[in-house]
Structure formats: structure tokens, C-alpha cells
Structure 1
């Protein structure tokens, strides 16, 4: 049997299936740099993104951002539901074949299920690459950051481009126009995102208010990013920081993560908790101060163009309230310098 050239690095694959369990909006935001890396390395490959069990935000709220990065998106594909799949006679996806199947998760039973997709080459880090057709050198450490871990899988297929820029995100023109109307040229804007899905990762609001007042004193305009869960903070912040902007709540008709990314393109810098909002701001290119507490920034920090991490563990514990305002202020000033 002739070895599959896609599995031995002899030529780029013509088709590639990327398997994930599911992608919430937060997951999708975190993985956007991986999508850009994937397309930069494989510009001519047909790339299919497959959420095997749950939905994927790449077919929902984040779909416009995948233009030019993904050729096809599947959600709830029925792959990885459980061990009973392994007893089926028919192959998944109607027997459709891909040159490469790239498994991005590490749960063994799901790996065995997705390995049944017809393929020329299967790449997976599950069980120490035991079921993968390509493996890293023996003893190679597993990267700590999620994006580096995913990039390591790509390294097994194709070398990292030395000087090829990652393709930009396809933010629709309508969102950019709305962002321009909300934050017109001629002013220096600093973003502040005081929320997080996990309340244990939220720096006290008083710290964000202090930073906002400081920015106003220095001639900059603070821009607060408040999701639906932070709606109750709006009036308190308005009263505490006259002159602050809240573009997502100003009745312009544009909302959601893509609008936040478009707004981030217009920021001089931003501060956010360890949250989805932080990844939105990073995706928009804003230099970012990322506030960490219970989680490890080496694993979860946003891939911002310029990043400063302030970690509560440097101040004695995992309570974000341990982070002093002056430490965040200094980090922000360095990004703005």
C-alpha cells in the first residue's frame, strides 16, 4: 500500500478535518489565533471545522470571523457521543474521506470515535499520541498554553511559516462602521472590561473606576465593555465616571462579540479580567492588561498583540482583590507609552 503523502509531510493536504467536542463563544474566541495559524500554514487546503457533539460558535455568533479561514463548519456532527459509536459498521459523516483528520481534544473515547472518520493521516495528542500517525520527538514537553498545544499538532503536519503574517479576521464592514461612529477618530480610547463569567475572577469594580478616572485626568476617554451580565453596573459606572463611554449600550443597534472586536480595533489599550471579553479585545488588536487570579496565565492568557499580565498570585493568593490598582495602572501606562 502506498503511504499517504499527506501523512509524511511530502505535500500539503488537499482536505483537512479539525475535530473539537464543542465550541462556546468563549472557546471560539480563544481559538481564533489557531484558525489564523492554520490558514497561514495551509493556504490552499480545504479546511472543515467539526464540532462532534455540541454546537460551535463558528456556525453562530462568530461565523463572520471565519470567512477566509474555514471552508466548512459542522456542528453537532454526532461524533464522540460515546463508546457505542465504536460498534457501528458505517463510518461517520457518511464515509466522507479527508486527507488529514486533526483531533484537538484529549478525551480518549472521543479520539477513538473521530479516528473512525475516513482519513489518510490522523493526528491526535490524546493518550500521549498513542493513536496518532505522527508524533513529536520522544520526551518533548507538551506546551502549556492551549494555542501552543494546538500549534504543536500543526507542527507535525507542516513547518511554522517564518515570515508569513497570519490572515486578518474578517470583521464585517457594518461592524467597523458602527465602531467608527461610536468611537470617532481624534480621541485616545482605553477599554475597560470589568466582567467575567466566573465571579471568582472579577477584580473589584472600584479598581476599574479608579483607572477610568485616571484616564480622564490624562486626556483619554475610558470605554467600558459591559455584557448582558454587567448591565446592572451601567448606571453606577456612569455616575462614578462622567465622560466614560458605553458603546454597546448607546442604542446604535450593534452588539455582540464581533462589535466588541471592531471596537477593540480603535483602542489605544485595554484592561480586562481573565474572561471572554479579554479575548475579544485581544482579537481586535488592542494592547491588553490581563488580570489573572485562580487560573494560570501561561495556559490561558489571551494572545494579544502586546500583553501585560498582572496576577493576584504575585500578591499572595488567588483572590483578584489582592491586585493593587497601582500595579494595573503601571502596566497600562507602559502599554500606552
Structure 2
């Protein structure tokens, strides 16, 4: 039942499906009001991308396409507060607004009902012409409807199609960035928009962040090549074991005389420490775990020769600033989430059960310890991928 919804847990799918059925009259009303797309270009546009760092970064091409197709519009981008600093670097966006959605935020950081209501009232007061939701979720579709925008474009595969005036099915056979461009095509049919190239996607990194990144690296013995190691992934089920990261780092230090730059957020310092403790003492190491805020991290990543990383935000950030990336994938699907760069490699195990995509509710056999799809990735495969990218970069320069 409700198989049109791309929701793995049957209980959640049943609940959202029942809500969708109740919304059917609203969907019909939206159909009566839809009519042809207005000929005049939109003046005020709201883009909703409330999820994590990687989700925002995979939407950069789509945001840029909105600007290309509506050059005179005021474009506002609503993000979680964790992404606000990064969002302000996007030249296509006029205004950044924050909403820490309860279903995406930790206790204590969520926007209060009063804050959400104030944001919605502001949108309604401004009489938005167009709103686009890049998240396939019934709750953010409801938020889009509450904005009062005349046209509301989003995915119906997470539920809430009745809240939209233009609904699209999220295609799991396509990259998330390609799906986002499809939404823009639906909202603003004219124009182009292409996926990220080898040069990465344009991010205007502030000079202060560049200076701080240079200072962090220069304060250590950081001779090139600089090999970044980013072992954390936000969820343990997506993390390659620390001893494997350490073995790959040690091999690159020995074979390519690399300096290892250890990375991680403040909440991932324990994961980074496990890698650090497993490294041989002769490895030249720069430990920046917990020391680089998001924008400074972008500047650090830009200076690396290659990054070895789990499937997580810094993987996409490295691709966005043009750094070669080796993405190590377990249960998540590289077809949808691979780094957007020609100078990248994806390493994953050849198992029948992957990618299962079950990060929130793992299979019982994977609930404790490292899942087979990650423990089955050999160190040599990661090292070989990194060395290929290193040698290609040397040849290009």
C-alpha cells in the first residue's frame, strides 16, 4: 500500500500515505487553480533546503540555475542554522533565512513554534511568486504551502503532493543534483544548468578564512602532497573503520611522502582520535579535528592534494572547491550522492545488499559494529584510487 511513496519504513509510509489520502481534496483544488505558468518572471523566490551540509551542496547547481533563469528576482534561501554561514557564500542568493526544522534538529537547537510562525508570516507578507522545496518530505511541503507562494514546486514521493501546485517524482536512478535541476526545469522551464565540472562549483571563500586555513597548515610541518582524512560521517553505520583509514594514510605517507591532514567536526573528535592513535609514529600529521569551522574547512580543503572521506558533508564541500575526492560508500547510494567532480573516485564493496539506504533503521545484522558493505572495502582499493587522483593532479599541473 502507498507504494508511490519512497519511504522505507512501512509504518512511516502508511502514516504519510493516510495523510496524503486526506490531502486529496486539497490536491484537486490546487489542480483547478494551477493553470498555465505565468508569463512574467517571478519577482520573489523562496528556495527551501533545510537538511544537512551535503544536501545543500548538492543543490548548488540548481540554485545557480534559478538565478540564471530569473536574473532580476529576489532569491531567498531557507536553510538550517548549521548551513547559514555556508549559504551566505553563494553569490546567487540575495537573502539567507534559517529554520531549524524539528524533524532535522537536535533537542535544544530546534526553532520554536513562535519562530517558525514568524518566518511563515514574513513570507506571506512578502507575497512570494514562487517557492521550491528541494527536500522530498511531507513536512517541508506543508511549510511550503504555509508560505502562501503562488506557485509551489517540490517532490511528492515523500508525501504532501497536495500542498504543491507542481509536483515531481524524485528519481532514484538519478543524482540528487540532477533531480534538483529537474525541479528548476519544472518551476522555470527556460534555460540550461549543468552539473559540477572538474573545477568545482563556485564558492566565494572569504579572505579571512583563506588566511586562517593557511595559518593552520603552516603552523605544522605540512609538506605536499597534503592528504586529507575525514573519517566521521554523522552516523556510525556510514563510517569506514578507523584502523582502515589509518592504514590508508600510512601507505600514502610512505609511498608518496604525503603529509596527513586529519579532519572532523567538534562532535567527531573521538572518531578522528581513533585514526590518529592507529597511525605509525613516523607519519607526518596535521591534526585539525574540531579546529576548523565550516567556512575555514572549505579553505583547508581547497589546499589539499586529495581527500579520503566517508559519504558526508566535507566530501561534497571538497568537490565544490575543486579538490580531488575519494568517497568511501557503504549503505548509501553513490548514484544519488557521489561527489560532483570529475576529479573524484567512489570506492564501495560489491555486495548484493548494498546500497540499502537504511541509515536511520539499519538491518538487524548491521545495528552493532561495522556493516559488511564497509568492512568489505579493502585498504588497497582506497589507496589506489587516491594515488590515481594524486598522479592525475601532478600531470595536470
What TM-score bracket applies, with the shorter chain setting the length?
Answer: 0.7 to 0.9
Aligned residues: 314
Match status 1:73 vs 2:96: yes
The superposition leaves residues 59-79 of structure 1 with CA deviations (integer Å, 9 ceiling, x where unpaired) of 3x435423x232122223999
**Per-residue deviation at 1:209?**
1.9
CA distance in 1, matches of 2:201, 2:46: 20
Change (3 A) 1:128 1:47: same
Match status 1:170 vs 2:204: yes
Match status 1:148 vs 2:178: yes
The answer as to whether partners of 1:197 and 1:275 remain within 8 angstroms in 2 is: yes
Match status 1:18 vs 2:41: no
The superposition leaves residues 7-43 of structure 1 with CA deviations (integer Å, 9 ceiling, x where unpaired) of 73745422211134x3344544454454344445444
**Per-residue deviation at 1:259?**
1.7
User: TM-score w.r.t. structure 2 length?
Assistant: 0.66
Match status 1:267 vs 2:304: yes
The answer as to whether partners of 2:323 and 2:343 remain within 8 angstroms in 1 is: yes
In structure 2, the residue matched to 1:160 is: 192
Is there any run of 5+ residues in structure 1 with no aligned partner, and where?
81-87
Match status 1:211 vs 2:248: yes
Question: RMSD of the TM alignment (CA)?
Answer: 3.8
CA distance in 2, matches of 1:202, 1:77: 25
In structure 2, the residue matched to 1:334 is: 388
Where in structure 2 are the equivalents of 1:184-223 lying within 5 Å?
Answer: 187-217=224-254, 218-223=256-261
Change (3 A) 1:128 1:183: same
Is there any run of 5+ residues in structure 2 with no aligned partner, and where?
1-32, 104-116, 355-370, 392-397
User: TM-score w.r.t. structure 1 length?
Assistant: 0.77
Where in structure 2 are the equivalents of 1:1-337 lying within 5 Å?
Answer: 8=37, 10-20=39-49, 22-25=50-53, 27-50=55-78, 55-59=80-84, 61-66=85-90, 68-76=91-99, 92-93=121-122, 94-108=124-138, 110-126=140-156, 132-134=164-166, 144-156=174-186, 157-158=188-189, 159-161=191-193, 168-183=202-217, 187-217=224-254, 218-228=256-266, 229-231=268-270, 232-233=273-274, 235-237=276-278, 239-248=280-289, 255-314=292-351, 318-319=371-372, 320-337=374-391
The superposition leaves residues 107-150 of structure 1 with CA deviations (integer Å, 9 ceiling, x where unpaired) of 346434522433343222225966644467xx995653322221
